Amino acid sequence: MTTKENDAGEHLELLNENLARVEQLSHRLIEIMTHRKSLRKDLNSPDNELFMNAASAYWQEMVNNPGKVLENQLELWSKSVKHFVDAQHLLVQGQNAAPQDETPSDPRFSNPLWQTHPYFNFLKQQYLFNAQAIESAVDDLDGLEPKEKQRIDYFSRQIIDMMAPTNFLGTNPDVLEKAVETDGQSLIDGLENLISDLEANDGELIVRLADEEAFEIGRNIATAPGKVVFRNRMFELLQFTPTTKMVHAVPLLIFPPWINKYYILDLKESNSFIRWLVDQGYSVFVVSWINPDRSYAAVGMDEYIDEGFLSAITEVKAITGQKQINTVGYCIAGTTLNLTLSLMKQRGDTSVKSATFLTTLTDFSDQGEFTPFLQDDFIDGIDDEIAEEGLLRSFIMQRTFSFLRSNDLVYGPAIKSYMMGQTPPAFDLLYWNGDGSGLPGKMAHQYLRQLCQKNEFVDGGIKLCGETLVLADVDVPICAVTCETDHIARWKDCYKGFQKAQSPSKTFIVSESGHIAGIVNPPSKKKYGHYINSDTGLEADEWMHGATFEDGSWWPRWDKWLSSQSGEEIVAREFGSAKHPVLCDAPGTYVKVKATR
């Protein structure tokens, strides 16, 4: 027997051993799923009525316009038969080659075998033909309400993405090549990754996007030096160490969203918004929200405004001795900062000198990509969930956000982790993305029903803290920074609400990129530019048409705006005050609390 034959025999034996281990791990997987606590069905899919309405519209179209429907079907049949005949013709000729391929490029099919191998190419082309047929059928549906049409489009897209041949072991050449190359070890490692993720989430499948062992809060992430100078049940107040001898007299208070942790603004030194602000000579304070457990079930928007925003503003004023402060609100915190400003206006409180809103929605008349999840069937399910659990658990929100970009945030990572056995990357942004917070039950209900669904802040006012709050009350100088490709808070929707504020001084900026990358965009990277236009009375498209594009980050431009609101320079401040002793070092204790499962 030759050496080559010996090597082949050893590889085959090792492959068979690993495949036997796969079977053993499969039994362990079945055991986990047997004891899995199922998530509520109404949080997994829409009400059946949606599909019934779609089916009814389809059959109605068949009756009223059969030619149109049959035309779409015949186009698919024609493509499929021609595709099959072309493949067969090459085989008969003895050519081990793929037929002509005019399908569009798709990053999922980057392996050359998708183009050259007749089997994989046939699968790819047929999948894309089928996907196009489904999309055309949905596009041609008449007789549906716009929101129903949008939801059908979303859920049909989910089915299309789920059924891609890349998602199955036997039809993914990358996975098969890796299995052969590693003698099946990649399948063992993949199953171990899958089982680990399931065990960590009580049987609920949440794809781990980052290597959690690679980061430690306060050691190599969230490391900007500072102190905790105040704490209540809602937040810790962080005061960051000055790096300049002189600072602006008016302090800056940042409210991050409480859906995630504040350190999105302090991932590492090179892209830390907090460090950059300190270096520009600002006295920077940041709210670090509590990660609520079930005891916070009765905490609502009232408490976030009163014990959160108003309390933080009061404490920063007391610590610095200033009558006014500048504020920043990011995402949902920007929405709530608007609510707070309305309340302060009605109470005659002028503590806020200026407000900056990052990717902030206030007018929810167009719900954008979240439309599928903001209808009664899903919100009813969330109401039932929070009635039972006391809070809207973080992983439910994380899953919803992920499926808005399912190929990038669900299927792609799942293939690499579970089918190819790769360790998730040590990526700080993805680590932060997985380190979420839950929402107190009452707060989640108010936000979803009164703001998102009923749009009360714009339409008639929302009753909070004993007052009726309206967006038109906001009249302090404001600056809004939005992001061109943001799918969470689309810039045009942010602009629509921004225009309704009655502030005499308004600045609006559109940064390139999305919800995170467009904001966390340090000047040193020289990566994304931004658009500016001083005429904020224009319609959104007109505003963009007349806007000037500037290379580089929006941070320096905003710094010029903010410095004009920040008073004279004074000697840099010490931490806290006599009545605000240092409680511990930044990043504090609240940021390290993990979300309740």
Per-residue model confidence (pLDDT) at position 269 = 94
Per-residue model confidence (pLDDT) at position 450 = 97
Is the pTM higher than 0.85? The answer reads yes
For the ranges 66-75, 163-172, 253-262, which has the lowest average pLDDT?
A: 66-75
In the predicted model, what is the mean pLDDT of residues 151-175? 89
DSSP 393-425: -HHHHHHHHHHTTHIIIIIHHHIIIIIS-PPPP
Q: For residue range 548-576, what is the model confidence (pLDDT) as tens digits?
A: 999 999 999 999 999 999 999 999 999 99
Q: For residue range 491-541, what is the model confidence (pLDDT) as tens digits?
A: 999 999 999 999 999 999 999 999 999 999 999 989 999 999 999 999 999
331: annotated active-site residue: yes
Contact 484, 518 (CB under 8 A): yes
Q: What angle do CA 228, 232, 234 make, to 5 degrees?
A: 105
Of the pLDDT bands very low, low, confident and very high (cuts 50, 70, 90), residue 361 is very high
In the predicted model, what is the mean pLDDT of residues 265-284? 97
Taking the C-alpha atoms of residue 284 and residue 97, their distance in angstroms, rounded to an integer, is: 63
Contact 555, 521 (CB under 8 A): yes
Per-residue model confidence (pLDDT) at position 147 = 83
> Closest by alpha carbon to 573, among 565, 582, 564?
582
Percent of the chain with pLDDT over 90: 63
Which tops the pLDDT comparison, 540 or 370? 540
Per-residue model confidence (pLDDT) at position 62 = 46
> Closest by alpha carbon to 298, among 436, 437, 446, 397?
446
For the ranges 33-47, 124-138, 268-282, 384-398, which has the lowest average pLDDT?
A: 33-47
In the predicted model, what is the mean pLDDT of residues 309-327? 98
In the predicted model, what is the mean pLDDT of residues 124-134? 89
Q: What's phi and psi for 545, nearest 5 deg?
A: -60, -35
Taking the C-alpha atoms of residue 570 and residue 249, their distance in angstroms, rounded to an integer, is: 6
Taking the C-alpha atoms of residue 227 and residue 283, their distance in angstroms, rounded to an integer, is: 13
Of the pLDDT bands very low, low, confident and very high (cuts 50, 70, 90), residue 395 is confident
Structure tokens at 530: 């931004």
* pLDDT surpassing 90 at residue 81: no
Catalytic residue among 331, 452, 479, 494: 331
Which tops the pLDDT comparison, 36 or 248? 248
Per-residue model confidence (pLDDT) at position 46 = 65
In the predicted model, what is the mean pLDDT of residues 89-104? 70
* pLDDT surpassing 70 at residue 78: no
Per-residue model confidence (pLDDT) at position 571 = 98
> 226-592: which CATH number, 3.40.50.360, 3.40.50.1820, 3.40.50.2300, 3.40.50.10490?
3.40.50.1820
Per-residue model confidence (pLDDT) at position 415 = 94
Neighbours of 49 (CB within 10 A): 10
Q: What angle do CA 54, 58, 63 make, to 5 degrees?
A: 145
Using alpha carbons, list the distances in angstroms from residue 345 to 304, 331, 332, 385, 547: 17, 21, 20, 36, 32
Per-residue model confidence (pLDDT) at position 357 = 98
Taking the C-alpha atoms of residue 526 and residue 515, their distance in angstroms, rounded to an integer, is: 18
Of the pLDDT bands very low, low, confident and very high (cuts 50, 70, 90), residue 152 is confident
Residue 46: is the preceding peptide bond cis (ω within 30°)?
no
> Closest by alpha carbon to 326, among 470, 475, 476?
476
Of the pLDDT bands very low, low, confident and very high (cuts 50, 70, 90), residue 83 is low
Length of the chain: 597
For the ranges 42-46, 145-149, 426-430, 544-548, which has the lowest average pLDDT?
A: 42-46
Of the pLDDT bands very low, low, confident and very high (cuts 50, 70, 90), residue 87 is low
What is the pLDDT of the chain when averaged over all its residues?
88
Per-residue model confidence (pLDDT) at position 309 = 98
* pLDDT surpassing 60 at residue 76: no
Contact 25, 195 (CB under 8 A): yes
Q: Would you call 343 helix, strand, or coil by DSSP? A: helix
Q: Where are the domains of the chain?
A: 11-35+47-200, 226-592
Per-residue model confidence (pLDDT) at position 108 = 95
Strand order in the sheet with 284-289: 548-550, 530-532, 506-511, 478-483, 352-358, 325-330, 252-255, 284-289, 235-240, 226-231, 584-585
* pLDDT surpassing 50 at residue 24: yes
Taking the C-alpha atoms of residue 275 and residue 265, their distance in angstroms, rounded to an integer, is: 9
Percent of the chain with pLDDT over 70: 88
